[in-house]
Amino acid sequence: MRRLFLIRHAKAEPGVGQEDYERALTDRGREDARHVASVLAARDLLPNVLIHSGALRAKQTAEIFASHWPRRVEIEEQLGLYDATRDMLFARTRALSDQNESVGLVGHNPGMGELAAMLAGYGPYPELRRVASKYPTCAVAVIDFEFSAWDDIDRKSGLLTLFLTPGELETEAE
């Protein structure tokens, strides 16, 4: 089995007056990342490795997630995730090392949301619709595949195990 975590970076500063690649997380973004990471840890849903795009906001999101998990998770940078299209992300996912059964990709929209919608073919219908309609900052889709190699995954071949957003966590807390 393979498990893929598709994580959109947390809320970042506006891009006015700075390079997009250097945009840092806002206070809210850091708080959202801590909260979502804690929920994943509580549900024992952790990848073996987190691969981020190299953009500051994606790197910070990956670092916050990893620091809030009870076991060590490798963090890697893969510049090709920055500004990647759905098809580029799909190709990168199929090229993942089979050494890691569970991988988290930390990147950007629209690619991350589109990839989640493309890969998730099974699961609760309301959740599949939510993934396809909106992929907010710090959203995480966990998709399971009944394959032994990443190269075997295909469109609509995954089971959407979880779709988690900071907004729904705020609603649950109220």
The enclosing H or E element of 42 equals helix 27-42
The string of pLDDT tens digits covering residues 117-155 is: 999 999 999 999 999 999 999 999 999 999 999 999 999
What domain range is 55 assigned to? 2-10+21-173
Is 15 inside a domain boundary? no
CATH number at residue 59: 3.40.50.1240
pTM for the whole structure = 0.95
Is 164 inside a domain boundary? yes
Q: What is the DSSP track for 114-159?
A: HHHHHHEEES-HHHHHHHHH---TT-EEEEEES-SSGGG--TT-EE
- Name residue, tokens 């963090």: 75
Confidence of residue 169 (pLDDT cuts 50, 70, 90): confident
User: How many distinct structural domains can be found in the chain?
Assistant: 1
Q: Cis ω on the peptide bond leading into residue 14 (within 30° of 0)? A: no
Specify the amino acid at residue 16: V
The string of pLDDT tens digits covering residues 25-61 is: 999 999 999 999 999 999 999 999 999 999 999 999 9
Is 16 inside a domain boundary? no
Lookup: tokens for 145:
């595949």
